[in-house]
Amino acid sequence: MEEKSQDRKDRQRKTEVTSSRAMLLRNIGLAWLILLAGIALGMYIFTARVWPYPVLKEVMAFVAGHPAEETSIAEKLENDLDLKPSQQAY
């Protein structure tokens, strides 16, 4: 009797471990597919220059800034969001 109950407990533990591994692999696979889909979408947007491309182009220009400008991205964002003005308006 005790052997049967011990066998059941052992089988239950094995199935719990197997199901948790399967869930982990499923989540990793799902994250991988989402990552690949995002990369593919980004490549399509930049090669075909469809809808969000103009917005992304403006963001890239904002991040790059002027060649003579020495402010960081954080300083630019603080200035644009009126958190800490670092540039004087004329």
68-88 tens-digit pLDDT: 888 888 888 888 787 777 666
5-35 tens-digit pLDDT: 777 777 777 777 678 888 999 999 999 999 9
Structure tokens that stand for 33 in this block? 């597919």
- Domain locations in the chain as residue ranges: 1-50, 52-90
- Pull the structure tokens for residue 60: 């890239």
The overall pTM is greater than 0.95: no
Closest to 43 in 3D by CA, of 53, 33, 32: 53
With contact defined as beta carbons under 8 Å apart, do 86 and 71 qualify? yes
Whole-number Å distance between alpha carbons of 62 and 54? 12
